[in-house]
């Protein structure tokens, strides 16, 4: 119940395309869902986050779509750029607690 | 100014040795974490301290011992290093609150030979 399943494991997208990464969870107590971006040799950094009371959140080219009934959420990267090439992690947390449960990561490569 | 800084960045050592990794944050946060990232990039929480009190202690061998001398520092000491300890170790910090956004350091790559 504490797992967050992430797919795909790796993704190759052409420049200008849309990158889509999906995550699913079981624990309905989760109420905060951040996405982290990690470049090689660096630590993960918060990209965008959502709470389950909204179905979508957009920040620039990055959008989270959230489906509470299906217990799924996804990251969409519009107009993908080579600079977006990184590993992306979804996570889930219970508000007010300290623990993040991370997904297994998706390595995104955007071809120039 | 680096918000969460870890030292050293790289650590190469022999099996059986004892080593320490240090972490400092200058964000004024009250909670700090240690994560282990294995070769498949999987991020797993190991420990967390809030105001110097241990609040998360996952299933980690007792060869790993965290120490938090104050809110801004969290160190990780590893005894009797094993090959399987080779990984990247990340320190993170957050401020206890609704979202608990965690800020990560750049990591320490530990290689046990």
B19, pLDDT greater than 90: yes
Name the residue in chain B with its Cα closest to that of A92.
B99
pLDDT of residue B59: 80
Q: How far is A25 from chain B (nearest CA, A)?
A: 16
A43–B99 CB contact, under 8 Å: no
Look at strands B10-13 and B108-112 and give their pairing: parallel
pLDDT band at B1 (very low <50, low <70, confident <90, very high): low
A84, pLDDT greater than 90: yes
**Test the B interface: residue of A42, A44, A89, A92 with most B CBs within 10 Å:** A44
What is the rounded distance in angstroms from the CA atom of residue B68 to the CA atom of residue B54?
Answer: 9
Query: Residue A100: which of B40, B45, B55 has the nearest Cβ?
Result: B45
Residue in B31, B51, B63 with CA at minimum distance from that of residue A99: B31
Instruction: For residues A74-84, give the mean pLDDT.
Output: 98
A58, pLDDT greater than 90: yes
Which tokens hold the place of B70? 């104050």
**Test the A interface: residue of B6, B99, B105, B108 with most A CBs within 10 Å:** B99
Please name the residues in contact with A57: beta carbons below 8 A apart, sequence gap of 6 or more. A48, A49, A50, A63, A64, A66
Residue in A97, A33, A40 with CA at minimum distance from that of residue A66: A33
pLDDT of residue B40: 87
Mean of per-residue pLDDT scores for chain A: 94
Q: What pLDDT, in 10s, does the model give residues A91-110? A: 999 877 788 999 999 999 99
B112, pLDDT greater than 90: yes
pLDDT of residue A94: 85
Rounded-to-5 percentages of helix, strand, coil across chain A: 5, 55, 40
B56, pLDDT greater than 90: no
A98–B55 CB contact, under 8 Å: yes
pLDDT of residue B98: 62
Q: What pLDDT, in 10s, does the model give residues B23-44? A: 999 999 999 999 999 988 899 9
B13, pLDDT greater than 70: yes
Residue in A25, A4, A11 with CA at minimum distance from that of residue A76: A11
């Amino acid at each position: 119940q504490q797992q967050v399943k992430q797919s795909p494991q790796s993704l190759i997208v052409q420049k200008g395309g849309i990158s889509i990464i999906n995550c699913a969870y079981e624990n309905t107590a989760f109420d905060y869902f951040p996405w982290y971006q990690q470049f090689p040799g660096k630590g993960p950094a918060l990209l965008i986050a959502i709470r389950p009371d909204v179905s979508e959140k957009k920040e620039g080219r990055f959008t989270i779509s959230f489906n509470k009934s299906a217990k799924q959420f996804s990251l969409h990267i519009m107009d993908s750029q080579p600079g977006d090439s990184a590993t992306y992690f979804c996570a889930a947390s219970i508000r007010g607690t300290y623990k993040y449960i991370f997904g297994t990561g998706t390595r995104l490569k955007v071809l120039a | 100014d680096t918000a969460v800084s870890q030292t050293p960045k790289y650590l190469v050592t022999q099996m059986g040795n004892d080593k320490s990794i240090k972490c400092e944050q200058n964000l004024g946060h009250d909670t700090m974490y240690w994560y282990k990232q294995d070769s498949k990039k999987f991020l797993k929480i190991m420990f967390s301290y809030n105001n110097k009190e241990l609040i998360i202690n996952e299933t980690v061998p007792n060869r790993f011992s965290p120490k938090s001398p104050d809110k801004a520092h969290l160190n990780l000491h590893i005894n009797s290093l094993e090959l399987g300890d080779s990984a990247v170790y990340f320190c993170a910090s957050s401020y206890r609150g609704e979202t608990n956004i965690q800020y990560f350091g750049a990591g320490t790559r530990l290689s046990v030979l």
